[in-house]
């Protein structure tokens, strides 16, 4: 009887240990899955925010065990497998074959997926490396969705490239913009004419589609300056009641929540 008790206890301990291992693994991988990661460093070199006008990224689909990525040109994808001790392996699948001006990051990503076998996640940074103690082959940062912060109406209080002071440029009326994030649309007033159009938001990347506007004649060049700058915008940062629109690393427009 004692022998059977020992066997029962041993099996129970093994099951509990197995559950604990699965739970720990789940906690580790939950920080990795179902999120979009922006490539910021490859082979020790900084990767631009956009390559060929697109953000280089990696996503991991937990349900289907597949990954998708881009180096700023073609879509790259395939299957991946997570292993114990933060191990990972990637297998290539089908991808598009478009030629782009800059293929260096894409080619580097293809090599990365052949070589990387270990991942680490620390706060909002993920690294892929070869070996537990090897130097990082690539680093990614989490793309945080800020689109909900855009909802509502904003009033402009700064714009780039104004030949005269802001208050003189918009002496009679300041431009406004209203975001309908769910419908991916915007509308507002350029300080003279009303406008409307589409907006594309991906993390903190943003771009505006062609704007339609009324055709009233406007004094000064405030409207021209407004539309010129909103076409430049590539990203945004929303903090409390202030919305900053950016081109690369240059602030082109700043808004206050109404």
- Answer yes or no: is 237 within a domain: yes
- Answer yes or no: is 3 within a domain: no
- Answer yes or no: is 211 within a domain: yes
Segment 26-55 shows an average pLDDT of: 84
Residue 7 reports pLDDT greater than 80: no
Confidence band, pLDDT 50/70/90 cuts, at residue 54:
confident
Tell me, yes or no, if the pTM score tops 0.85.
Answer: no
Structure tokens at 249: 């690393």
How many CB atoms neighbour CB 46 within 10 A? Answer: 9
Segment 247-254 shows an average pLDDT of: 89
Confidence band, pLDDT 50/70/90 cuts, at residue 71:
very high
Segment 110-120 shows an average pLDDT of: 96
Segment 181-202 shows an average pLDDT of: 96
Residue 153 reports pLDDT greater than 80: yes
Per-residue model confidence (pLDDT) at position 28: 55
Q: Are residues 151 and 252 in the same domain?
A: yes
Q: Are residues 130 and 152 in the same domain?
A: no
Segment 161-182 shows an average pLDDT of: 92
Scan for tokens 């020992």, then name that residue.
6
Q: Are residues 129 and 158 in the same domain?
A: no
Q: Which of 142, 167, 201 is the last residue of a domain?
A: 142
Please tell me the distance from the alpha carbon of residue 159 to that of residue 240, in angstroms, as a whole number: 19
| Complete DSSP assignment for 64-107 | TTEEEEESSSSEEEEEEEEETTTEEEEEE--------S--HHHH
pLDDT: which is higher, 103 or 55: 103
**Domain containing residue 210:** 147-257
Q: Are residues 55 and 134 in the same domain?
A: yes
Assign residue 212 the CATH number of its domain.
2.40.128.270
Per-residue model confidence (pLDDT) at position 3: 46
């Amino acid at each position: 009887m004692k022998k059977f008790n020992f066997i029962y206890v041993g099996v129970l301990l093994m099951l509990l240990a197995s559950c604990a291992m699965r739970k720990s693994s789940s906690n580790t991988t939950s920080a990795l899955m179902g999120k979009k990661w922006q490539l910021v460093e490859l082979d020790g070199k900084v990767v631009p925010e956009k390559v060929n006008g697109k953000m280089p990224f990696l996503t991991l689909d937990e349900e289907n065990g597949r990954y998708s990525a881009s180096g700023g040109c073609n879509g790259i994808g395939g299957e991946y497998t997570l292993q114990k001790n933060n191990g990972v392996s990637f297998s290539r699948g089908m991808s598009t074959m478009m030629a782009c001006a800059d293929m260096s990051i894409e080619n580097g990503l293809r090599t990365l997926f052949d070589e990387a076998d270990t991942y680490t996640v620390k706060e909002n940074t993920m690294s892929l490396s070869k070996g537990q103690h090897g130097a990082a082959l690539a680093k990614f940062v989490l793309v945080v969705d800020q689109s909900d912060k855009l909802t509502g109406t904003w009033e402009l209080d700064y714009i780039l490239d104004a030949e005269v002071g802001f208050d003189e440029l918009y002496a009679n009326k300041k431009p406004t913009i209203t975001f309908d994030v769910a419908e991916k649309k915007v509308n507002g007033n350029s300080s003279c004419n009303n406008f409307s159009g589409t907006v594309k938001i991906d993390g903190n990347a943003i771009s505006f589609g062609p704007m339609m506007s009324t055709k009233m004649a406007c004094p000064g060049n405030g409207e021209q300056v407004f539309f010129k700058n909103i076409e430049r915008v590539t990203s945004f940062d929303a903090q409390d009641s202030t919305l900053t629109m950016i081109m690369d690393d240059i602030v082109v427009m700043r808004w206050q929540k109404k």
